[in-house]
Structure 1
Amino acid sequence: PSLFRLPKMPRSREGVKRSPIDPGALEVAIAEVRNGSSINKAAEAHGLSRSTLQSYVKKVLGGGTPSVNNNCAHWKVFSEEEENDLAEYLILCSNSMHGLTRKSLSEMAFEFAVANSIEIPESWEENGRAGRRWVHDFMRRHDMLSLLSPQATSLGRA
């Protein structure tokens, strides 16, 4: 065990960029493989990855039906429009001299999701607020917001 505890690395990884699969080309390539062509030749002829074609051929030969799902997006709690609405509300609050903390932001996000009947992760329901990772990612997407501790304001400034 070391004496020093190193901080965690920041979460700013780019996802793997996968090219979408053409369902028509996939069906034709599978038919060619069924008729005796090699997987490599069929994949090259139709512009598909060999491993992709191989996995779909395996599915078809196993009795399944190949379903091409080109949706590689991860699950988002709020749509872009809903997130923008939440960000606008937070800006309105900050203009009214209300400070924004991580805790208040996560609680507001939870209440916003519940009020709009949006499906939320189990951890949100258990804790009664959004998770740390969601708050971090939200703040990265909406960099015009800043988290500040609320402080007393004199009447002269208000």
Structure 2
Amino acid sequence: MPPIKRKTWDHNAMIQAVDVVRRNEMGYLRAAKRFGVPKGTLERYVKKDVRAEDLVQVRMGRRPALPIDLEAELESYCKEMDRRFYGLRLQDIKYMAFQLAIKNNLRHPFSVTKASAGKKWLRGFLRRHPTLSIRTPEAVSAARVKGFNPVAVVNFFSPFVLNPVPRLHKNNSSSKKTGAASIITGSPYKNSLVESLNKKQEKENKKTQKKRSNKKPQTRKRKDLKKKNVTEVSSSSEDDDIPELADSSGDEYDAECPFCNGNFSQDTRGEKWAKCQVCFRWAHEDCGEVASDSFLCSLCLDM
């Protein structure tokens, strides 16, 4: 024969039927037909001096060793210890179940020699309370436990929830270091600029002297090559005396003084020229009032 399914009726209907019969509003047969519950079960529940809600929640089969209220208290204790970061082991729960049974003078099937409940009781306890589960513990430091509180968690996560961290885009176009902002015409910046330009000029002079000292005269067999070298050397020496221009194109050299607007090609008096270290423009030494080797024109100083 297939197993008979028990307690398939509606629990709320059974509670209402028990209350109606206990108030003498209906009899057993009428209440059973009215609410659709078995008459024998209704009669048995009415005769017991227990609330209808507790009678409906009684499970079929063997009764647990601990009553419902003690198991609920043990469940809340396990949850409280977990909130305090001190989770209980399965053996600890079995020990506490044995101690509860002894202190409350309850009849129990637990082992007296081991002073703990059995595996079957533990499986039934976890099945009756599905909010409890078995987890593998992890080591947590005392400082982390102390700092893990609602206030610290809210302070840590709320700024990122309200204002997400912006993503920074790296600019690989230039790897030069940026300097601090300052006034160009100020004396501290001017002095530092002049010093850096002088150091740069000294380094360039040293490099040119080393190159000239390390150069060896190259002897060539053909006379034509010697003539070409002589002409190239003479032309380069002549070009050194001619000022280099930022706005010159090709082989045409024609500098213009920003003060008197005179061109270098039209200079017939042999006046000396000087190049500004900032804008790299040429000017007459008399017009620019050049006093030292590092020349800065008044146009750059007024910027």
TM-score, normalised via structure 1 length? 0.49
Higher relative contact order (CA 8 A, sep 6+): 1
| Larger Rg belongs to | 2
